[in-house]
Each structure stands twice: as structure tokens, then as C-alpha cells.
Amino acid sequence: MSRLTHLDATGNAHMVDVSDKHVTSRSATARARVTMQPETLTLITTGTAKKGDVLATARIAGIMAAKRTHDLIPLCHPLMISKISVDFAIKDATRCIEVSAVVKVEGKTGVEMEALTACSVACLTIYDMCKAVDRAMTITDLRVTEKSGGKSGTFTVE
């Protein structure tokens, strides 16, 4: 098993030195799910939620969050992100919205944390905008489903 890269030889936390790494195309996809009451899902899909367009707001929040990941997660490198997309799949049968975020960069370090942050904040925004009508919403299954680029290559899970 590999050692944790954010700890030095004495166990102290430190930012990983990426200065000797090569710049490569890197991408990561994260997914999560927000489950809610059917009536809440209807408010979102019909655009009649009291606070406005829930999915448009969640998309913007996710994009903004990915760009600020280094401010939120200790020891993350600030990155010049080249693409962020946040998308939603409405699942009427399971009363949920599946949220996915894709982040791309030409850089020396991966973008998994940026994709996870974008997905998380998009889900939190959905909750925030609808909590007045459905406090029982759940946010589940947050995970990286794909990663490519860098020395470790490609990772995919579904």
C-alpha cells in the first residue's frame, strides 16, 4: 500500500511538491444523489420552487465551488481549470436527482477534489433551495466515478 502523500516522514501535514511532475491532461467525474418527496421533485422540474430555478442555481454553485476548492480543502493546489460541467438527471421512479460534475485541467495534479466539491455544493444548493418544503431530503452516494491523466492513469467505477 502506498503511503499518504500529504504527510511527511515525521507525520506532519504538508502540501505535496508537484514541481517535478509533468503537465498532462487530467479529468475527473464525481456523482451524488439527492432524494426527496415526489412533490419536491415536481416543484424543481416544473420551475415553481419559491426560491427560483433550483437546477440553474445549483449548477452555478457547483461551478463556483470547483473553482474555490483550494480555499476549502486544506493542502489542495490552486488550479487553472479548463472545464467544469455540472449536470442533472431527474429520476422520477426513485424520487431523486442524480448530480454529476466533470472537471478538466492541463496541469501537474488531478482534479478529483474539484469534481467532488462541485458535486457536493450542487447537492447542498438543491437542499438549501428546497428545505422549506422538504427537510427530509437526503444527499447520498458521493463518489469519484472516473479519473484520467497523470502517473496513476485511468480509474473508472460505476
Catalytic positions are 128
CB of 118 within 8 A of CB of 19? no
Helix H segments across the chain? 38-46, 54-67, 69-72, 112-130
Question: How distant is the alpha carbon of residue 108 from its chain centre?
Answer: 20
Radius of gyration of the chain from its Cα atoms, rounded to whole angstroms: 17
Q: Which helix (H) or strand (E) covers residue 88, if one does?
A: strand 81-91
By DSSP bridging, strand 155-156 and strand 96-107 are unpaired
Specify the residue for cell string 431523486: 96
CB of 84 within 8 A of CB of 66? yes
